[in-house]
Structure 1
């Protein structure tokens, strides 16, 4: 249902809740809205003027934005429903779904559908690679149930974030990004928890120490693939001291996590 029809349905519901005919409902406005005008509003063929929208919003106890675009909660529910529908196929196979989304076999009709499919592809990349069920090991038959759990988890997190940063219902693209961000964070075990912060800190230090510094300083020879140090002006003593600091930092993060019960020290 497009937004004009959604608005029309809300106007009709409001009129019926007031036990008014279309003629009676039109008399709430100045100038009066004719019966035919109200009918076109309700069918979604015409959108009321800004002044009349404001009056309708006042009568319904909603904001104009909610009338036009719905609520954020409603939009999140729509996204959940659309994602869940992609899983609702006989003999569900996540590989088939990803192939269809990436190749465009679903034959999207418009920009909104293409944007949704691009989002769904990015979102499910993390969901299908992650674990949301409490089972020790997941079988291929668990993929659908696990994905449903993942969608529900991300929806809860997005609802919390959307409320805090004041996301509006019409900001669909932003909501897509928030869904994908939550799925990515769960996959990387970098959630907004003590454990997530611990993992983020550890992985960030490790990334600098084990990946970024070597990537900066070394390259592979094309003839034999051996790693060689690239020309640079870095002071060797400075590099050694920096590596020691990073190594000590990693140890300190472990100790802090163990002391606060965030990380169980196995040593």
Structure 2
């Protein structure tokens, strides 16, 4: 199999304006995330990074056509993402591009559009210990992940998390305040596969954590489509006895 083609999209705002974040991620969070995928997948992946400030946010039609899996991290500038780029990414996901949404990407335009809900949750940032418990140990995203995965310090997310019921729940997190959260969820939209993974506030070195990096890399492998070509689901009209090739359909009166 050819290497999976990965784009890591980073908002790259905190690293520019907050010195303590820049110390943790001197090359940007997106580069640290990309390094973790390279570290785990090796020659099995070709990984590139783009950021919000790139032309068309780095997500041109040509780039997306050449991408098997898009990894998304955003937080402070969700509103700065152009709607036409969101529509473009949405179309590619429905056509079979994989999408990994990390941490505060739960409130990104693209994730909310794909979920169809508010994607709101409870949160606090008090240097919480997080334990990530594997509830589906047979899932490929959980391969090689310790049970539980311990993160010494990170931001807390808690229920209620306003998302549709996941197709698969792989991980749940618990925190020092007693909260619980569905922290590893998969969804299918059209021909595309989506994995949401909770950890990764910018104030903590979470994306240097070897097991967090493993989960993200496993997610990338899982989200790659097995379909031979990228194509959006379409509505076709079939005659009786015709099984393989329908006719184009232009609308309810077509």
TM-score by structure 1 length? 0.22
**Bigger RCO (CA 8 Å, 6+ sep):** 2
TM-score by structure 2 length? 0.23
Q: Which has the larger radius of gyration?
A: 1
